[in-house]
Structure 1
Amino acid sequence: MITVDDTRVIGEARVLAGLDQGRLDRQRHHLIHGPLPVLTRDDYLRLCEAVGLRGRGGAAFPVALKLQDLPARGVEAVVVNGSESEPVSRKDRLLLTRWPHLVLDGAVGLAHALGAPHVLIAVHDADAATSLREALVERDDRLAIEVREIPSRFVAGEARAVLSALEGGDAVPPGRRVLPTRKGYHRRPTFLSNVETFAQLAVLARLGARGFSSTGVITEPGTQLLTIDGAVQRPGVIETPTGVPLDTVLQYAGAEPGPVLLGGYHGRWLTQTHVTLQRPEVSAGIILALGQNTCPLGEVTRVADWLRRQSAGQCGPCVFGLASLVDDFARLTLGERRGWYDAQRHLGLIPGRGACAHPDGAARFLTSALEVFDDDVRRHVSGQGCGRPVLGVLPVPGGAR
């Protein structure tokens, strides 16, 4: 295992190659990775199909399907979603501040292959924006490349919210669910994915399908970036082969025993950690260890209240549904049996009815909590409580840790 500060590599360093050299400028980037091959659209499509590459954001959508859905001509832009609005995730910001040229290679190489005249990079982190702009000074990509700073709210990271912000609108998902490949930037066909996806594309272009597939699982080979936090001794970002056992990652991070949240605050809870980590299960690559010293229901209620405050405010399931659930879980934590019944009822009404994925994701997180923390629920509604304080193990922006 290679370790530098809070960034580690299990196995072969690919995306994080040159970890011990600090931020890679253009010269050091080329020394480590070599020049980027010039590939056609068909080349990228064949490579992505051969390795089953999936987007490294929350949706884990197959990259090859996005490419196939684009028209043969008239692609307006390639958009790099660097908003990383999930409060725990740090992998994309790490890439943008330390490996900006790898991300730019992936975006620029694909833009040339698609004939797209624009590359737009959306970020909300000032350090990431500065790093990208410094990297662009070192390059001559013969494209219009812009770095745009957008708001950092949770829903602002959704693909359609990013496009709205890039066009000068509010950073919220519109009610219509139209794929960016059909109507994206300025309502023209657009390829949009997150930062790590473009870094992986740059690695894939250089290694080819066979080299890329020399590590990881057969169904989706290669490596993945994981952010681990919570009740761990060594939080941070880890590059691992796909399919690495969750237990291995928890051990390297020095995690305390206890439940684990996979996929962040739209993810699900696990009590058994004998699973392998690959998409779409691991979603945006977030692992949160809860430990055994904090009140699970209190932690979940804190996160639910933060999720409520992140609502775009444009549909009932978000505005009223999430507010009701916060009240339900707060009453349940205080020992009110009625809170449990109301939570079950409201959780059954929300999925599939929102204007975006936020209410569904929040409901998934809370439904999973009721299932996994069933024993704690019983203790609370019995009036005994679990006997543990709320330590703030789950990071909430603006809240106590």
Structure 2
Amino acid sequence: MTILQETPLQLRVIGEPRLLAGLREGRADLQRHLWTHGAAPELTRADYADLTTAVGLRGRGGAAFPVALKLADLPQRGIEAVVVNGSESEPVSRKDRLLLTMAPHLVLDGAVGLAKALNAPQVLIAVHDGAAATSIRAAIQERQDHLRIEVTDTPGRFVAGEARAVLSVLEGGPAVPPGRRVLPTRKGYHKRPTFLSNVETFAQLAVLARLGSHQFSSTGLISEPGTQLLTVDGAVQRPGVIEAPTGIPLETVLQYAGAPTDGPVLIGGYHGQWLPRPDGIKLSRPEVPVGAGIVLALTADSCPLGEVHRVAQWLASQSAGQCGPCLFGLGALVDDFSRLLSGDPAGWHDAQRHLGLVPGRGACAHPDGSARFLASALEVFGEDVRQHLAGGCGRAVRGLLPVPGGIR
């Protein structure tokens, strides 16, 4: 293991660093960035299509959508913008703001290079973290890219990071997704075709452009080679961001972070899924719901349902208030879990009923993802449910799952 920097983020690499290369001394300015990675090559749209197809590159924002398919869906002409979604609304994730703060030129290389290949006149960057916004703005001033690059500050609310909510903010509107789900490649910024992806995806494009498909594929899975950034937190001795090959065993990641390998693990963040144990699990998309690259571990001496209830309260507070499944459905589920924790069997029955009503009916993915997280908890922690209905599990809620705002 290579420890790149002793900071609260505890940057670590399993194997050879790519995205985190050159960060041992801290933030990489343009000079150190070029010394580490070399100059960015000028590629055509066909080059990007061939490269992303060859390595099966998927978006790293959570949906794991193939980048090559997104490129193919764009028209040949009239692409309005390339949008970098740096509104990392998942409260545990740190990987995108880390890249914007410490390796901003790698992100800009990916975005600018693609924009030039697509003949898009502008790169728009949405950022909700103040330090990340300052860093990326400083990096822009160091460069001469000869196209418009603009940074927009966005709110930190969960739904504000959804792609259509980001587009709304960029256009001067509210940070909420509209009800109609339309792909940005068809109607994006100002209803024009737009390529939109998250920060890590653009950094990966920059690495891929330099290495080529053969060298890029020298690590990781055959089906999706390369590396991935993982934010590891919860019951861990060394929380932080780890760069690791795709397909790495989950147990290995937990061991490097100093986390227990015999307890439950949440994969993919607060729209993700619980695993009872990490045994035999390899972190690969789309087979495992890695999502935004989040791994959260629990210990056996903390009440898992109590931890889940805290997160459910926060998820309900993040509703945009524009549709019933989110505004009322998530609130009802918080109440259901509260009654379940107190030993009321009706709480469990009502939770099952509400979990069947919420998915697929919201204006965005927030109610669906929240329901998936809660349904997974009821399934994995079935024994804990029985203990609570019989009088309680006897364990304290230690607050191992981070939530903003100090929810207890």
Q: What is the CA-CA distance between 1:158 and the residue it aligns to?
A: 0.4
**1:268-304 per-position Cα deviation (integer Å, ceiling 9, x unaligned):** 0001212000223211100000111211111111101
Cα deviation for residue 400 of structure 1 reads 5.8
Q: Deviation string for 1:135-163 (max 9, x for gaps)?
A: 11110001100011010100000000000
Match for 1:11: what amino acid? G
What secondary structure sits across from 1:46 in the alignment?
helix
Whole-Å Cα distance in 2 between the matches of residues 165 and 279 of structure 1? Answer: 29
User: Aligned equivalents of 2:300 and 2:404: distance in 1?
Assistant: 22
Q: Deviations over 1:62-91 (max 9, x none)?
A: 000110000000000000000100000000
> Which range moves more in the overlay, 221-230 or 292-301?
292-301
Q: Distance in 2 between matches of 1:290 and 1:162?
A: 32
For 1:75 and 1:211, the matched residues in 2 are separated by 30
Q: Which moved more, 1:12-21 or 1:91-100?
A: 12-21
Instruction: Tell whether 2:395 aligns with 1:388.
Output: yes
Q: Secondary structure at 1:21's aligned position in 2?
A: coil
The C-alpha deviation readout for 1:78-133, integer Å capped at 9, x for no partner, is 00000100000000010001000000000000000000001000001110011011
Does the 8 A contact of 2:236 with 2:297 survive in 1? yes
RMSD value over aligned CA atoms? 0.8
List per-residue Cα deviations over 1:350-385 (Å, max 9, x = no partner): 1111111000000000000000000000000112x1
1-side partners of 2:311 and 2:176: how far apart?
Answer: 20
1:106 counterpart SS class: helix
Distance 1:9 1:86 in 2: 22
Task: Tell me the SS of whatever aligns to 2:406.
Answer: coil
Q: TM-score, normalised by structure 1?
A: 0.99
Q: How far apart are the structure 2 equivalents of 1:337 and 1:158?
A: 35
Could you say which residue in structure 2 is the equivalent of 1:291?
Answer: 299
Give CA deviations for 1:250-282 in whole Å, capped at 9, x if unaligned.
001010241000000000000121200022321
Q: Distance in 1 between matches of 2:49 and 2:285?
A: 19
Aligned to 1:261: 266
Corresponding position of 2:356: 348
1:84 aligns with 2:88: yes
What fraction of aligned residue pairs are identical, expressed as a percent? 75
3-state DSSP of counterpart to 2:88:
coil
What are the residue-to-residue correspondences of 1:2-401 with 2, within 5 Å? Answer: 2-3=2-3, 4-5=5-6, 6-256=10-260, 257-273=262-278, 274-280=280-286, 281-383=289-391, 385-399=392-406
Q: Give the aligned residue type for 2:36.
A: I
Q: CA shift at 1:21, angstroms?
A: 2.2
Once residues 149 and 322 of structure 1 are traced to their aligned partners in structure 2, the CA distance between those partners, rounded to angstroms, is 28
SS at match of 1:276: coil
Q: Is contact 2:313-2:407 (8 Å) kept? A: no
Which amino acid in the other structure matches residue 97 of structure 2? R
1:57 partner SS:
coil
Residue 388 of structure 2 aligns with an amino acid whose one-letter code is H
Which SS does the other structure have where 2:151 is aligned?
A: strand
- Letter of the 2:2 counterpart: I
Tell me the amino acid that sits aligned with residue 35 of structure 1: A
What is the aligned length? 400
Equivalent-residue separation in structure 1 for 2:351 and 2:407 (angstroms):
25
Aligned equivalents of 1:218 and 1:113: distance in 2? Answer: 27
Shift, 1:396, TM fit: 0.4
How far 1:58 sits from its partner (Å)?
A: 1.0
Once the two structures are superposed, what CA deviation does each residue of 1:36-67 show, in whole Å capped at 9, x if it has no partner? Answer: 01000000000000000000001111000110
User: Structure 2: which 5+ runs fail to align?
Assistant: none
Distance in 1, Cα, partners of 2:99 & 2:150: 17
Change (3 A) 1:340 1:400: closer
Native 8 Å contact 1:14 1:203 kept in 2: yes
> Does structure 2 retain, via aligned residues, the 8 Å contact 1:392–1:400?
no
One-letter identity of the residue aligned with 1:364: R
Provide the secondary structure at the position in 1 that maps to 2:300. coil
| TM-score (structure 2 length as normaliser) | 0.97
Give the Cα separation in 2 of the matches to 1:135 and 1:199: 14
- Larger mean CA deviation between 274-283 and 341-350 belongs to 274-283
